[in-house]
Chains A and B, each alone.
Chain A
Amino acid sequence: MGLPAAIIFTGFYFVPFIANLRYSLTRWDRITEPEFVGFRNFVNLLTNDDLFYKVLGNNLRFTFLVVLFQTLFSLIFAIFLVKNTRTNIALRTLFFFPTILSSVSVGMIWLFMYDPNFGAINLFFTRLGLEGFALNWLGSESSALYAITFTQVWFHTGQMMVIYIAGLQQIPQELYEAAEMDGASRWQQFRNVTWPMSIPTTIVVMAYTTIQSFRAFDLIFAMTQGGPNNSSNIFAVLIYQTVFSELRIGYAATQSIFFIIVLVFVTLLQRKFLNSRYEK
């Protein structure tokens, strides 16, 4: 019974993982034979690669903001749209709609929206007389990552909202009725019923959003390719550039090992935090 799964796991996960470990100890350009360099790539990455730390910082910042806002907005939307009325169903469809678009299409749409000279966003601010808010969104190091964060949140909030709605609909109605009989306000109902009962869903949403934000390759590649000056670069894009543009396969394998370590660390941290809340 477990054999097909074991074969798939071995062939598609375990073997590539071991191969990646092997490549991380080499210098290889896909043209000449790999040259064994021991742990030189690891030492270089940790001691002589400012870009690695910059990308690590970008990735953590991007993940933190995306997880925070995507979870928050999807929970708020879910609370407002949890009842199965016609209007709510229509609004859910509307909020979910961006999710069905391809990432590259979303990237291209927002690329036009953010255009500093022709884009709808700056046009909007300019018309309102708020020229100070009309920024060089994707062309400036200080705003590019945040502009992409906003797009990522817009893109996936609807999807997380649907997961939350499914979770919220499982909360027994009697709990709200009892809370109401005790004279609990809306806020108290949320704090003492909705939030504790939705923590298992939140764990799923946050874990999924975290992984999603680490993998936001296509969106970033379509919008800035990690620029300007790597200010919007994240691990997935950096590894791609190291492999395909720079042909440094061994070094990219080392980067990917650190990528996995960071991802596992962040996910464990989240789980620990949320589990402790759940147990309380």
Chain B
Amino acid sequence: MKQKVNAKAFKALIAMAFAISATVVPLSQSFAAGESLGKSCTTEGLMTGTKSTSLICVKGGNDKLTWQRVKLASGSGRPVANLTPPKGEIEFWHYRVELGDQRALVKIISDFEAKYPGTKIKQVVRDTTTYNNTARVAILANPKAALFATSRGAIFDQFAKSDMMLDLSGQRYVKQNVVAKGLTAGQFEGKQLGIPYQYLFNNPIVNTDIWAKEKWTTPKNLTGWVNWCKDAKAKGYVPLAWPGATRGQAAQISNSALMNSAGSYNELANNLADLNSGKIDLTSKWFEGVADIYVKLRNAGCFPDNATGVTEAAAYNLFATGKSPILPIGTFAMGSIVGLNPNLNGKMELMSMVLTDGKVVAEGIMNNTYTLSVNKNSNSRDQKIANAFLSYLLTGKVAEIYANETLQHVNVLDVEYKNVNLLNTVSFQAKNTMLAPRFLLLNAAVSDLTQDALIQIVGGKSPDVVLPDFSKQIKQKLAG
């Protein structure tokens, strides 16, 4: 009898070992054997995960690469448990109407309510456009909306200027549970007014099957990308499935173009601030350089035919059907792609898009958004509930539910990504990434016109015509 049990346990152990090795090992290089603290490693920046115990491959003083403990949080110490809420009910306002988000949030809220009987969280969800246009005024008039979300850039800026967000700087869970790099997007005038929950990568997604079949390697610079586009086009592919008809998604690639367009992040931020205020316009030397990147990519055949008429749905289709090896949008598109073609599950990876032949400031883009804030105008009991629920969302186990259900990386430590696509792309968190610069254009009119100018260039117009024309339009908008 005992022998039978041992045999069963042994078989189960073998099966488990096989299952783990068959699924996890091929998924990510970061799980390759041999990584332990202080041991040598080969790829700088490679990370074994986003746990407080994860390791990262870094270069030491002796120029040797070794595995070191990764420090992702801003404070020291292990992640903390969530705060305990008082009894009562609050509203949680946000804009994530997506099915995956709804499934995840309904589960998380019901778990929270079961853990704390008498505490209720009521979701108030609007689609992004409606939310961006109406939520600020509605929340200002509704103190019951104790927890709410904003997106990075102009919307967060508008909410922050309305003085309706509580400063969360002193909270332990902010210092110890959240990836420090991701906090910046929730800061305003030195205060931590929101916690960006999602950690996105607005980098091109690659179909690894096509990439392997064609034996391509990642282009290292702008010349490399130009040559790659020519080669891919000659082989019958649409090199980049770029949706020129959907401004918001067409703009994602502009992050990569802007990323290395200036000598440093600060210089780039200053340039964008000057563009935003009208101090410089699109005919500046710096922006002409950005436009020139688009011209080179266009002339190399990187974009689809009739690029300005390609919608987001059509671009997804190009990528999901294998007609295009690259979708230059970001990790948040992976869920939709798997929905269109389940065979691509686990066959997508992120790629750096370095569009300069000069100095490389950053090799990729990340963005922190879905920023959660506590309402400054709510009463103290409701603020406590909101704060407790926010701290609950920011614990590893809970964030894990959200991440794996929505196929989005999160800004939270100790999250175990189980989805193959998330595992394949998580190592980007340790790369030299830049916070998506296009959102530094806080004036929506300036931002839209800047993107429209670039879209027009892809459509075939010359920068000599487009840049002065759109500069004039921006000037008139700023004057109005």
Contact = CB atoms under 8 A, between A and B. Distances in A.
Interface string A102-132: 0000000001101111100000000000000
Nearest to A245: B444
B34 interface: no
A251 B445 CA distance: 13
A117 B261 CA distance: 32
Interface in A234-257: 244-248, 251
B372 interface: no
B311 A31 contact: no
A148 interface: no
A98 interface: no
Nearest to A41: B480
Interface stretch (A137-145, A172-180, A186-194): A137-145
Given A48-B479, A139-B244, A139-B308, A229 B456 contact: yes
B315 to A, nearest CB: 10
Contacts of A139: 244-245, 306-310, 459
Contacts of A32: 161
Contacts of A45: 480
A167 interface: no
A51 interface: yes
Given A49-B480, A139-B309, A228 B473 contact: no
B244 A50 contact: no
Contact of B314 (A31, A117, A246): A117
Contacts of B444: 245-247
B477 interface: yes
B477 A111 contact: no
A137 B452 contact: no
Interface in B443-480: 443-445, 448, 452, 455-456, 459, 472-473, 476-477, 479-480
Contacts of A116: 305-306, 309-310
Nearest to B129: A244
A30 B132 CA distance: 13
Contact of A228 (B443, B459, B480): B459
B110 interface: no
A31 B162 contact: yes
B477 A246 contact: yes
B137 interface: yes
Interface in A210-246: 224-225, 227-229, 244-246
Contacts of A251: 480
A47 to B, nearest CB: 10
Contact of A244 (B133, B448, B452, B472): B133
Main secondary structure of the interface of A (DSSP, over half): loop
Contacts of A275: none
A228 B451 CA distance: 11
B380 interface: no
Contact of A115 (B314, B459, B479): B314
Contacts of A228: 245, 308, 452, 455-456, 459
Contact of A247 (B158, B318, B448, B476): B158
A227 B452 contact: yes
B304 interface: yes
B320 to A, nearest CB: 12
B162 A44 contact: no
A51 B162 contact: no
A224 B309 CA distance: 9
Contacts of A140: 308-309, 459
Contacts of B69: none
A225 to B, nearest CB: 8
B172 interface: no
Nearest to B160: A31
B311 A115 contact: yes
A159 interface: no
Contacts of A117: 304-306, 309-310, 314, 318
Contacts of B480: 41, 44-45, 48-49, 248, 251
A121 to B, nearest CB: 12
B303 to A, nearest CB: 11
A136 interface: yes
Contacts of A114: 309
Contacts of B314: 115, 117-118
Report, nearest first, the 8 A-B pairs whose CB atoms are least far apart: A139-B309, A116-B306, A139-B308, A136-B306, A116-B309, A244-B133, A136-B309, A246-B445
Interface of A: 30-32, 41, 44-45, 48-51, 111-112, 114-118, 136-140, 224-225, 227-229, 244-248, 251
Interface of B: 132-133, 136-137, 158, 161-162, 244-245, 247, 304-311, 313-314, 317-318, 443-445, 448, 452, 455-456, 459, 472-473, 476-477, 479-480
Given A48-B479, A117-B318, 5 more contacts: A114-B309, A117-B309, A118-B317, A229-B456, A244-B132
28 contacts: A30-B136, A41-B480, A48-B476, A48-B479, A48-B480, A49-B480, A51-B476, A112-B313, A115-B310, A116-B309, A117-B304, A117-B305, A117-B314, A117-B318, A118-B317, A136-B306, A138-B309, A139-B244, A139-B245, A139-B308, A139-B309, A140-B459, A227-B245, A228-B452, A228-B455, A245-B444, A247-B444, A248-B480
